[in-house]
Copies of this chain bind each other. A is one copy, B any other.
Amino acid sequence: MNDAFPAVGFDVARIRADFPILAQTVRGKPLVFLDSAASAQKPRAVIDAMVNCMETQYANVHRGLHWMSERTTDAYEATRDAVAALLHANDRTEIVFTRNSTEAINLVAHSYGRGIMKAGQAVLISEMEHHANIVPWQMLRDAHGTELRVAAVTESGELDMEDYAAKLADGRVALVAITHMSNVFGTYTPIERIIRLAHENGAKVLVDGSQAVVHRRVDVQALGADFYVFTGHKLYGPTGIGVLWARHELLEAMPPFMGGGDMIGSVSFERSTWAHVPHKFEAGTPAIIEAIGLKAAIGYVEAIGYEAIAAHEAALTDHALARLATIEGLRVIGRAQDRGGVVSFTMQGAHAHDIATLLDRQGVAVRAGHHCAEPLMRRLGLDSTARASFGIYTTHEEIDVLAASLERVREFFV
């Protein structure tokens, strides 16, 4: 693969060779996969780690005294170490495994929300949240009597910091839950400032890092966050595994979310006691094979390096914005300064679904719809957008194919 604008030290051809699926054709055309923000493809290292587990070293964890169980427990728990290092957690016990970001947020909404928050306190989110960071707080509101506040987003697709500060001002916000990077605009939020302001006003902060952790190095200590969540399948890892990081003292104070094996201290019918964190929050047999896959994904990303990834993706995004700007009637949605490799757009005379289908016919996979951000769409006066999103394996050439294919869509429709 001949990449016109390689980032220094970043060999996209070699990276592509690590992803078996990228050699596929779709509808007779080479696959141009521009839907990584929905879910990323998996490198050979991840596939191999999962296969290796199932072929050579598998048993249930934590409760076995035999070799297979001990070794599988070691491997499962080693993922906790890898995630703790990835996020710069203080302590490995601050890492809780969940199914995905959605479950991680629901866990906090349930355990911190119902367990610690009081009726009348407020949760503050933003207009550009994914449904995963809206609906759990609505459900908390309806079940528990908390308030749900929403900070506005500007026309450029950035958080309206004045509105945000105003919504914090009365001191009744107990928790801010906000995205680190928008899955619609690609905008990075000024998360350090957001957190500082929240803390000044007595609120804890949950950061939805589902998109951000894929593209940027995250240091929860430097950010000052209280909760950070992400999902394995977007970080080139398996489905079925996600992460909640939270400060140890918060996890200690929170009641468990689900009950069952592995999360208990002791059980009697009258009364049970809970295991120490993080086990208190991991009821039942965990996603063992998936955790082991996630560790391989983190290792893969770390070996390439976030700096190289960020540089590659910044170059891709610049290239994409430049190419898309040349297409008549195409409008890119969101014009934030600080943005990553997610580009939403509309095209005059062509609905996003039709764009997606016509691109698909040309082998180009993009997403179309509300991107699980209906309130944001409504705010923008849109029904839907088409969205191209980039990963470590995306090439400048693929963006050229996207642009050329979009030209053909335009000509087809107008």
| Nearest 10 CB-CB pairings of A with B | A102-B284, A135-B259, A240-B240, A240-B287, A102-B260, A132-B260, A39-B60, A66-B365, A261-B372, A38-B60
Closest CB-CB distance, A381 to chain B, in whole Å? Answer: 14
A310 surroundings in chain B (CB, below 8 A): none
* Partner-contacting stretch, out of A19-27, A84-92, A399-407: A19-27
Closest CB-CB distance, A277 to chain B, in whole Å? Answer: 17
Mark A residues whose CB is within 8 Å of B: 20-21, 24, 26-27, 31, 33, 35, 38-39, 41-42, 46-47, 50-51, 54-60, 63-69, 99-103, 105-106, 109, 130-132, 134-136, 138-139, 148, 150, 231, 233, 238-241, 256, 258-264, 266-269, 271-272, 283-290, 353, 356-357, 359-360, 364-369, 372, 374-375, 378
A57 to B33, CA, bound (A): 12
A359 surroundings in chain B (CB, below 8 A): 66
Is A21 a contact of B272 with CB atoms below 8 Å? no
Closest CB-CB distance, A182 to chain B, in whole Å? Answer: 14
Is B284 a contact of A360 with CB atoms below 8 Å? no
Closest CB-CB distance, A177 to chain B, in whole Å? Answer: 12
A55 surroundings in chain B (CB, below 8 A): 20-21, 47
Is A372 a contact of B24 with CB atoms below 8 Å? no
**10 A-B contact pairs sorted by A residue (CB < 8 Å):** A46-B54, A47-B54, A66-B364, A106-B258, A109-B259, A131-B259, A135-B259, A135-B283, A240-B289, A287-B287
Is A374 a contact of B268 with CB atoms below 8 Å? yes
Is B106 a contact of A21 with CB atoms below 8 Å? no
Is A365 a contact of B258 with CB atoms below 8 Å? no
Is B67 a contact of A360 with CB atoms below 8 Å? yes
Is B135 a contact of A99 with CB atoms below 8 Å? no
Is B240 a contact of A356 with CB atoms below 8 Å? no
Q: A55-B47, A59-B365, A66-B356 are in contact. Are A139 and B259 (CB under 8 A)?
A: yes
Is A63 a contact of B238 with CB atoms below 8 Å? no
Is A42 a contact of B69 with CB atoms below 8 Å? no
Closest CB-CB distance, A17 to chain B, in whole Å? Answer: 13
A26 surroundings in chain B (CB, below 8 A): 66-68
A105 surroundings in chain B (CB, below 8 A): 260
A64 surroundings in chain B (CB, below 8 A): 35, 38, 365, 367
A103 to B262, CA, bound (A): 13
Q: A99-B240, A139-B256, A260-B105 are in contact. Are A39 and B58 (CB under 8 A)?
A: yes
Q: A63-B367, A99-B284, A238-B289 are in contact. Are A269 and B132 (CB under 8 A)?
A: no
Given A100-B285, A130-B261, A138-B272, output 20 extra A-B contacts at Cβ < 8 Å. Answer: A21-B57, A26-B67, A38-B60, A41-B58, A46-B54, A47-B54, A51-B51, A60-B233, A65-B367, A99-B99, A131-B267, A132-B283, A134-B267, A134-B269, A135-B259, A135-B260, A136-B260, A233-B285, A233-B288, A266-B374
A46 to B34, CA, bound (A): 28
A59 to B366, CA, bound (A): 11
Is A59 a contact of B47 with CB atoms below 8 Å? no
A105 to B130, CA, bound (A): 27
Is A132 a contact of B261 with CB atoms below 8 Å? yes
Which listed residue (B101, B285, B364, B375) contacts A267, Cβ 8 A?
B375
Is A366 a contact of B102 with CB atoms below 8 Å? no
A374 to B272, CA, bound (A): 10
Is B21 a contact of A66 with CB atoms below 8 Å? no
A268 surroundings in chain B (CB, below 8 A): 374-375, 378
Is B58 a contact of A42 with CB atoms below 8 Å? yes
Is B365 a contact of A67 with CB atoms below 8 Å? yes
